[in-house]
Amino acid sequence: MNIVSEKRRFEILNQLETNGKVFVTQLADDFGVTPETIRRDLHELEQKGILKRVHGGAVKSASMHYEPPFTKRQNTSAHEKKKIGQKAASTINDGETIVLDGGTTTLELAKGIKGVKQLTVLTNSMAAAHVLNNSLFTKRFEGSVILIGGTLNAAQQSVSGSMAIAFLEQYRVDKAYLSCGGVSMDVVTDYDNEEALISKKMIEIAQSSYLLADHSKFNRHSFSVIAPIERFQHIITDVPSIEGWDHYIEETGIDWIVAKEAASIES
């Protein structure tokens, strides 16, 4: 699929996310293409489980709304997440300002930060903020932690909403480290719309963005779109390659970083 098709399908998903339904004729007018082209787009997106085609258009896929609680997600692919988190932590340098989302993989990154000086960390994760605060207290690293303000999602132990978006707009950071619900060659997605909006804003304020995703996240979709995959300069994962992805990664120039076996984290 070419870049024009990717961008069009990304915009179709954005409209679907906003309106709950899209119409073939309206989309064809919006993008200046034939209705047949839009129908092919919708067919491809339906095959991936992102939407459901109906007469004249498409609606949200009901199966894409569920997000497991934070504590359950922590125990899913825990070994892989630890490896990825520690590798991500090794890419952080003295004097940087970084932002972490509310994911369980980025929580492992927070646990892995050690020996860095003059580091500033912004996060919307209550769990990561707690870990980072303890690390500051025990002098595992030197710097400061800024907890983003907003509406608390107790089940996910994170903060989101319009206040959180406005809070992030005040900052510019060196690096964003983000987790996700799914990764395809089209887009990176998350389970929750509010969390996806936070992730979008984090990408916007960062000079470079790192996607932290274990192998189980690839060729999967959650419902809410975070961004086209090209918005990420780096992907940190636990495998050297994903079937069918080698040419795509080479073509896009994304830095594919493989996390090796995780070391034990000293207290």
Q: Which tens digits make up the pLDDT trace of 84-122?
A: 999 999 999 999 999 999 999 999 999 999 999 999 999
**pLDDT at residue 264 is higher than 70:** no
| CB contact set of 91 (below 8 Å; sequence gap of 6+) | 175, 210, 234, 236, 257
Of 29-33, 71-75, 107-111, 233-237, give the lowest mean pLDDT range: 71-75
Q: What is the reported pLDDT for 10?
A: 76
How many Cβ atoms are within 10 Å of 51's Cβ, its own excluded?
23
Compute the distance between CA of residue 106 and CA of residue 88 in angstroms, rounded to an integer.
Answer: 8
Q: Name which residue leads in pLDDT, 5 or 251.
A: 251
State the pLDDT confidence band at 222, using cuts at 50, 70 and 90: confident
Query: Higher model confidence: residue 202 or residue 181?
Result: 202
Confidence check: pLDDT of 25 > 90 = yes
What per-residue confidence (pLDDT) applies to 66?
A: 47
Contact between 121 and 145 (Cβ < 8 Å):
yes
Q: What pLDDT does 166 receive? A: 97
Q: Does residue 25 sit in helix, strand or coil? A: helix
Nearest to 183 by CA among 153, 148, 150, 211: 211
Poorest-pLDDT segment among 41-45, 64-68, 97-101, 159-163: 64-68
pLDDT confidence band for 265 (50 / 70 / 90): low
Q: pTM here? A: 0.75
Beta strand pairing call for 57-60 and 51-54: antiparallel
CB 192 within 8 A of CB 224: yes
Least confident of 18-32, 133-147, 253-267: 253-267
Does position 201 have pLDDT exceeding 90, yes or no?
A: yes
**70-258: CATH, from 3.40.50.1360, 3.40.1190.20, 3.30.1950.10, 3.30.1010.10:** 3.40.50.1360
> Where are the chain's structural domains?
3-64, 70-258
Mean pLDDT of the chain: 88
CATH fold label, 3-64: Arc Repressor Mutant, subunit A (1.10.10)
Task: Report pLDDT for 180.
Answer: 93
Is it the case that residue 63 has pLDDT exceeding 60? Answer: no
pLDDT for position 77: 63
Binned at pLDDT 50, 70 and 90, residue 83 comes out as: very high
pLDDT value at position 267?
Answer: 44
